[in-house]
Amino acid sequence: MLKGFRYIAFALVATALFAMVKNDLVNVRGLSTDTTFYTTQLAELTRLEKELLQFRVQAAGVVHAAPTAGRDQMLLAFDLLWARVNTEYKRFVRPRIDALKRYEETLGALSRDLKDIDTIVQGLQPGDHAALARIETTLNKTSLEISAMTDDSYTELYNRATDTTVMLRKALGGVNHLLHLFLITIFLGAILLLWQLRKSERLNRNLAASEAEIRRLATVDPLTELRNRRYFDERMQAIDEGVWTGNLHVLLVDLDGFKAVNDTMGHAAGDYLLKTVARRLVTTAGHSTLLARLGGDEFALVCDGSNHDALNLAQRIIAELSLPIAFGSGTLLVGASVGVSSFSKLAPPSTVMLREADLALYEAKARGRGCAVHFNELKRPRPVRTVPAAAGIHLAAQSA
Predicted confidence at residue 392, as pLDDT, reads: 45
Predicted confidence at residue 87, as pLDDT, reads: 65
What confidence tier does 205 reach under pLDDT thresholds 50, 70, 90? confident
CATH number for region 229-394: 3.30.70.270
> What amino acid is encoded at 144 in this protein?
L
Does pTM surpass 0.95? no
In the sheet that holds 325-327, the strands lie side by side as 325-327, 330-333, 392-394
Task: Give CB contacts under 8 A, 24+ apart, made by 385-391.
Answer: 387/256, 387/335, 388/318, 388/319, 388/322, 388/335, 389/322, 389/333, 389/335, 390/333, 391/255, 391/256, 391/257, 391/260, 391/333, 391/334, 391/335
Q: Which residues contact 106 (CB under 8 A, 6 or more apart)?
A: 142, 145, 146, 149
DSSP letters of 234-264?
Answer: HHHHHHHTTSS-SSEEEEEEEEESHHHHHHH
Q: Which residue has the higher pLDDT, 74 or 320?
A: 320
What confidence tier does 389 reach under pLDDT thresholds 50, 70, 90? very low
Contact 160, 31 (CB under 8 A): yes
Cα–Cα distance measured from residue 120 to residue 181, given in angstroms and rounded to the nearest whole number: 75
Contact 337, 254 (CB under 8 A): yes
Most confident of 3-12, 22-31, 262-271, 344-353: 262-271
Could you give the angle at the alpha carbon of 146 between the alpha carbons of 140 and 147, nearest 5°?
Answer: 100
pLDDT tens digits for range 341-367: 987 665 557 888 899 999 999 999 998
Cα–Cα distance measured from residue 253 to residue 340, given in angstroms and rounded to the nearest whole number: 9
Contact 327, 395 (CB under 8 A): no
Q: Are strands 325-327 and 298-304 parallel, antiparallel or unpaired?
A: unpaired
Residues counted in the chain: 400
